């Protein structure tokens, strides 16, 4: 029944989002034809209310639909993943960004396959998970069309105790650098929820997207000093190449769960295995959970979802550091891993995104939670006629 609920949700979203897209290419809407009641594109030369001041001062365009970084989102169920009839014992979540290698799309993600669904930290043990992402490994799947996926197996298993990640390895993302591949991920040293969702980031590398992967077995991005915003957790590592350096954006909570005032910061390195230096202006975002980033024109754009005053926004920083709200939208993909063809080009000419995978959180038996991977489509690309992008659209 829970999967049916999710699918009904997907169908609803599909219908909803199709009616809600921004105009494409040369299409114009009626209001663009200059009806007298249209919002003026330029700031009017008269005293304005705070809301109208803000409309012109704080956003890229007065109407979100008119700028390139606005989109609605369409969701489609995937084929190829089994969930044990949604009994909560199998979960797949937090997909990486998608890359294309050997004519196929590759994605890595957190997979939990446990005898019972999560039961909270107090009831957890070596086989009973505390949370949906406890006792997990990193798996990968490939696809030719982005809709039908073949699960290939484990990429990175959790290592033996006490190596970083022994309890769970989760929430990974991929970097390709000088012909080698690097997976960054959360390495739990205790069951999530014991004190909070505390963990640092570790990594594995390989000569091929199919592995084998060599774990570095050490922390790659350290938690902050006591009293700093990222003292407890470094989550959702998200690597891009920008300005000839490795930029890893990441999430941390100012306090601790369940406070949920989340921020996102940046650590920069010359080599994928570090040392990483945290940006002095961190955090760079005041909101967001599982923030998704991609090169856009000369800068970096971000999907800021779920938490904080600025959730449900698409943001842009022409320098990759100072982000502003570009548009406000809704029903954004959760933990999105988009197909980013130029994630590692660092050529200052980012093309944007049109699709990817994200997750939905479902209810298994009782109160148990599990997650499923789904596909999202959007229009956050500079050129919708870009054939490499367009061919992948539903």
**Distinct helix (H) and strand (E) counts, the chain:** 3, 21
Taking CB under 6 A as the criterion, the residue among 70, 73, 133, 213 binding ligand AAL is 133
- C-alpha to C-alpha distances, 80 to 64, 135, 148, nearest whole angstrom: 36, 23, 6
**Measured distance CA(48)–CA(28) in Å, rounded:** 28
Residues that contact ligand AAL, how many (by CB under 6 A): 12
Q: Tell me whether residue 104 or residue 369 sits nearer to ligand AAL (CB atom).
A: 369
CB distance 172 to 188 below 8 Å: no
Helix, strand or coil for residue 394?
coil
**Measured distance CA(70)–CA(68) in Å, rounded:** 6
Taking the complex as a whole, the smallest distance from the CB of residue 383 to ligand AAL amounts, in Å, to: 32
CB distance 108 to 116 below 8 Å: no
Tokens coding 369: 């939670």
Sites for ligand AAL among residues 23-82 (CB under 6 A):
none
The reply to whether 173 sits near ligand AAL by the rule CB under 6 A is no
Nearest position to ligand AAL, beta carbon:
171
The reply to whether 142 sits near ligand AAL by the rule CB under 6 A is no
Sites for ligand AAL among residues 355-394 (CB under 6 A):
none
**Measured distance CA(110)–CA(183) in Å, rounded:** 12
Closest CA to 343 of 285, 386, 303, 296: 296
CB distance 290 to 306 below 8 Å: yes
The reply to whether 134 sits near ligand AAL by the rule CB under 6 A is no
The reply to whether 235 sits near ligand AAL by the rule CB under 6 A is yes
Indicate the pairing of strand 369-381 with strand 299-304. unpaired
Q: Tell me whether residue 332 or residue 389 sits nearer to ligand AAL (CB atom).
A: 332
Taking the complex as a whole, the smallest distance from the CB of residue 217 to ligand AAL amounts, in Å, to: 20
Taking the complex as a whole, the smallest distance from the CB of residue 130 to ligand AAL amounts, in Å, to: 11
Taking the complex as a whole, the smallest distance from the CB of residue 326 to ligand AAL amounts, in Å, to: 23
Q: Tell me whether residue 201 or residue 389 sits nearer to ligand AAL (CB atom).
A: 201
Taking CB under 6 A as the criterion, the residue among 134, 236, 377, 379 binding ligand AAL is 236
Taking CB under 6 A as the criterion, the residue among 124, 170, 305, 358 binding ligand AAL is 170
Q: Tell me whether residue 59 or residue 133 sits nearer to ligand AAL (CB atom).
A: 133
**Measured distance CA(131)–CA(128) in Å, rounded:** 9
Taking the complex as a whole, the smallest distance from the CB of residue 33 to ligand AAL amounts, in Å, to: 43
Q: Tell me whether residue 167 or residue 289 sits nearer to ligand AAL (CB atom).
A: 289
Number of Cβ within 10 Å of residue 209's Cβ equals 21
Beta bridge partner(s), residue 221: 201
Q: DSSP state, 133?
A: T
Taking CB under 6 A as the criterion, the residue among 81, 89, 90, 94 binding ligand AAL is 94
The reply to whether 289 sits near ligand AAL by the rule CB under 6 A is yes
Taking CB under 6 A as the criterion, the residue among 171, 204, 327, 354 binding ligand AAL is 171
CB distance 52 to 62 below 8 Å: no
Phi and psi angles of residue 139, each rounded to the nearest 5 degrees, phi first: -110, 170
Q: Tell me whether residue 251 or residue 375 sits nearer to ligand AAL (CB atom).
A: 251
Q: Tell me whether residue 135 or residue 389 sits nearer to ligand AAL (CB atom).
A: 135
Q: What does the binding site for ligand AAL look like in residue numbers (CB under 6 A)?
A: 94, 133, 170-171, 186, 197, 235-236, 251, 289-290, 335
């Amino acid at each position: 029944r829970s999967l049916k609920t999710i699918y009904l949700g997907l169908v609803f979203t599909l219908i909803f989002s199709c009616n809600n897209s921004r105009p494409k290419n040369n299409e114009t809407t009626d209001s663009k034809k200059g009806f007298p009641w249209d919002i003026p594109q330029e700031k009017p030369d008269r005293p304005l209310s705070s809301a109208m001041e803000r409309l012109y001062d704080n956003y890229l365009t007065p109407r979100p639909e008119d700028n390139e970084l606005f989109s609605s989102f369409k969701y489609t169920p995937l084929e190829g993943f089994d969930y044990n009839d949604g009994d909560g014992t199998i979960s797949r979540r937090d997909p990486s960004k998608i890359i294309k290698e050997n004519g196929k799309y590759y994605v890595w993600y957190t997979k939990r396959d446990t005898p019972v669904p999560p039961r909270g930290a107090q009831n957890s043990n070596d086989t009973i998970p505390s949370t949906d992402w406890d006792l997990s490994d990193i798996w990968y799947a490939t696809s030719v069309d982005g809709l039908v996926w073949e699960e290939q197996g484990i990429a990175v298993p959790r290592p033996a105790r006490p190596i970083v990640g022994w309890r769970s390895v989760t929430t990974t993302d991929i970097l390709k650098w000088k012909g080698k591949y690097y997976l960054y991920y959360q390495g739990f040293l205790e069951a999530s929820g014991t004190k909070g969702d505390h963990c640092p980031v570790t990594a594995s590398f390989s000569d091929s997207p199919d592995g084998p992967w060599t774990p570095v077995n050490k922390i790659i991005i350290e938690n902050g000093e006591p009293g700093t915003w990222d003292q407890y957790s470094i989550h959702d590592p998200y690597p891009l190449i920008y300005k000839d350096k490795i930029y890893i954006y990441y999430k941390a909570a100012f306090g601790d769960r369940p406070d949920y005032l989340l921020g996102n910061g940046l650590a920069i390195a010359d080599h994928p295995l570090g040392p990483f230096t945290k940006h002095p202006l961190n955090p760079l975002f005041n909101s967001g959970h599982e923030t998704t980033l991609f090169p856009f024109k000369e800068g970096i754009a971000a999907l800021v979802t779920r938490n904080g005053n600025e959730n449900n926004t698409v943001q842009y920083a022409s320098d990759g550091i100072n982000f502003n709200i570009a548009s406000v939208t809704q029903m954004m993909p959760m933990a999105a891993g988009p197909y980013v063809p130029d994630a590692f080009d660092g050529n200052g000419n980012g093309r944007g995104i049109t699709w990817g995978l994200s997750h939905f959180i479902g209810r298994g038996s009782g109160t148990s939670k599990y997650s499923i991977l789904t596909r999202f489509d959007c229009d956050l690309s500079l050129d919708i006629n870009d054939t490499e992008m367009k061919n992948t659209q539903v």
